[in-house]
Structure 1
Amino acid sequence: MVNVLFVCLGNICRSPMAEAMFRDLVKREGLDDRITIDSAGTGDWHIGHQPHQGTRDLLDRKEISYEGMKARQMVTEDYDTYQYIIAMDTSNIENMKQWQEGNTEAYVGRLLDLVPDVQNKDVPDPYFTGNFDEVYDLVNKGCQALLQKIKTEQGL
């Protein structure tokens, strides 16, 4: 089983959007029995909350399920559980280091590091910008690239 974790600041906008979109993509590819997906935040402000209304509205329009998703904060054990830990921006990468003990074998990187034709590798936070459509487009590109990376590396 391949385990993927998406990480952003509060786990209510970008990372749950990526989680829901990646789950949908993985299911459409027939790999949902081989890949598990979760998301977490580096902050603790929204623990237990549903995704942001803007994320829910967008996912509803795209007919992508976010059922049962609740925000949680990243924990040290995530480095042992997940083979791919995917951050939304550079500050998330920096914040995640507080939970990393020793060396990890997980791939840790930004989602847009996998998309060569995108100049800015940080997914903007729609909590502050309000631009959920832009984030959807970027996350979609990143999820496509991530799935290709996983399929190649894991022989799926």
Structure 2
Amino acid sequence: MEKIKVLFVCMGNICRSPTAEGVFTKLVNDRNLAPHFQIDSAGTHAYHVGNPPDLRAEKAAGERGVDISHLRARKVVLGDFEDYDYILAMDDENYAILSSACPASHRHKINYFLDYAPHLGKREVPDPYYGGSYGFERVLDMVEEASEGFLNALLETGKIKAMAHRRT
């Protein structure tokens, strides 16, 4: 079975993108769709390569039943542009970095993650790194909305058969 390959990208890969990876993975698992996906996250910078997610991100995600403690930061590499079907940027800066590094033949794969939650009226997931715990909660709210929207968009295109059943 051909998998849909999704890469979430922020700057350092310790706050927003691992949160998105964890939330989307949980959503896919809850809908019994895991066999259809390969999900990962990365950063545009190598600041934190090999490090686990920020403890505040881990705590906030954990309180919502999302375990991201096993994830480790990595930097986007050239091969990601070919390997992934969807490369979802968290903000303008990372979108621009991805677009400039990406071969022209793969640029169509790069999108803003929040484009899948247009009702939020925002395009950027704010970086919570320099703020308090409220910022991580806000990021989770946005990521949950965009994850639902992204999965629904994939279901609507028929890329995933409508076998999605919520576990009871």
TM-score normalised by L of structure 2: 0.88
Q: Which of 134, 139, 150 lines up with 1:135 in the alignment?
A: 139
**1:24 CA drift (Å):** 0.2
CA deviation string 1:45-92 (max 9, x = no partner): 000000001110012211212242100000111111111110111111
CA deviation string 1:115-142 (max 9, x = no partner): 1212221000000233101110001100
Letter in 2 for 1:59: A
Where in structure 2 are there 5+ consecutive unaligned residues?
Answer: 162-168
Q: Which of 61, 71, 85 lines up with 1:83 in the alignment?
A: 85
Distance 2:63 2:144 in 1: 15
Distance 1:58 1:9 in 2: 19
Q: Does the aligned pair in 2 maintain the 1:79–1:106 contact within 8 Å?
A: no
Q: Does the aligned pair in 2 maintain the 1:10–1:42 contact within 8 Å?
A: yes
Matches within 5 A, 1:40-119: 40-104=42-106, 107-119=109-121
Bigger radius of gyration, 1 or 2?
2
Aligned residue-pair number: 156
Structure 1 stretches of 4+ with a deviation exceeding 6 A read none
Q: Which deviates the most, 127-136 or 74-83? A: 127-136
Q: Which deviates the most, 73-82 or 108-117? A: 108-117
TM-score normalised by L of structure 1: 0.94
